Structure formats: structure tokens, C-alpha cells
Amino acid sequence: MKWLLLSALTAKAQPSSDFGVWSSIEINKKFNKKWSVNGEAELRTGENSSEIGRWGLKVGGDYNVIKEVKVGLAYQFLYFHDIEYWDFQPRHRFIGFLQGRKKWGNFSFLLRERFQMTTKDDSDRIKASGKIDTYKMDSEWSWRNRIKVSYDIPNCKFAPSVSFESFYQLNNPDGNEFDGLRYTLSVAYKLNKKHSFDLSGIFDKEINVKNPVDRYILNVGYAYSF
């Protein structure tokens, strides 16, 4: 029922819009058919790409339970730009996920369930009264549900895909609800077994939050696997 109400919930406030560019470099190391580790560096811009929104570093690993199902853990350090107070704050994010993939002809279907906990630093968020403006949720727990469909074009190094992701709060003291939706259209290019690139257009929509923002994003990624 909650999914049926999403369109109505998004009408609570008129969102503003923004444009940003996201970029990332990822390194993947596969030890065998079961275990692999990865690292990623990312940079995101905002305010119509005039300001750095955040940069981050992530390390993680995953394990294939069976051929089509894997689980994983990761840690991510974020340096986040708080637009309201115009300062940068360190954040620590801990991630766990379960992912399933099924191939049907030239199509691949992926479902990922991701749970994350993010700790925040509000020590520089000082109100005019002198009191610290604390975050409502710190640490912040959330559940991210992602569905992705990709198509393998025969004898072609390009692979298009489309995905949808929802963001759901898990520890909101006022009641948990969806607070974000993300739509992505991507084209991946596999140069060879080690090098691949990804170009995506993303529509990132905030819902059920104060002063929601619709973000239009150009995402560019590079991955090295060995």
C-alpha cells in the first residue's frame, strides 16, 4: 500500500531543482569465484555544479553465497558540504547488502537490498542563539532498495541499463517514511577485461522532507578490475 501512496506523498511540498556532476574511480580485486574486495573514490558537485557537494572514499568486500546471490560489507568516509551552514563535515557510513542477479536471454535483472548507518558531525552547526543545531537522526539508519535491468547487445561493448532505487528511513523519531527516489539511465562500455566506463543520467528526488530538491545529475565512472 505504501508504494501506491508514493505519488501522493511527493506532493506535500514543491521542490526546488539542482544540477550536479558525480564522478568515481573504482578498483576491484577478485580472489576467486567466491571472494572479492573493492575500493572507490568519488567526487560530487551541487548548487548547479558550482560547489563541491561531497567527496568520499569507500572500501568493501563481498562473498558469493551461490552464483546468483552475494552479500557484502563496506565502510565509507564522506566529507559532506552542509549547504545550510556552509561548512564541510566528516561522516562515517557502514553498509551491508544482499544482492541477487538473474540473466534471461540478453537481459539481466538485479535486485539489491542495502542497509546503511551514517554518523554525522554537527559541532559546527551553531544557531544564532549559540546552541548546536543537531540532526534529527544521528546516527541515521536507512534501507535502500534498488532494481536494475540491463541489456547485453550481442557483439557490442556497450550495455544500456535502467534502474530505480528507493530510500526508506529506519529510525526517524517522528515516524519512518520514504525520503528519496532515484531513477537512472546508464550506458556501460567495457574496453577489455580490466577497464570499463559508465555514463549515466540520474534523476534524484527528495520526498517527505523539509525543502525537497529535485536533482538532475550527470554521472561518469571508471572501474579497473584485476
pLDDT digits (tens, 9 = 90+) for 201-216: 999 999 999 899 999 9
Amino acid at 86: W
pTM, full prediction: 0.90
Cα 54 from Cα 70, distance rounded (Å):
29
Map out the domains of the chain as residue ranges: 3-10+26-225
pLDDT tens digits for range 85-119: 999 999 999 999 999 999 999 999 999 999 999 99
The 10s digit of each residue's pLDDT in 135-191 is 999 999 999 999 999 999 999 999 999 999 999 999 999 999 999 999 999 999 999
- Grid coordinates given for 150: 540491463
Quickly name the fold that domain 3-10+26-225 has: Porin (2.40.160)
Report d(CA 102, CA 88) in Å as an integer: 41
DSSP-assigned beta bridge partners for residue 200: 186, 219
Cα distances (angstroms) measured from residue 12 to each of 144, 179, 210, 214: 22, 12, 10, 14
For residue 139, say if its preceding peptide bond is cis, omega within 30 degrees of 0.
yes
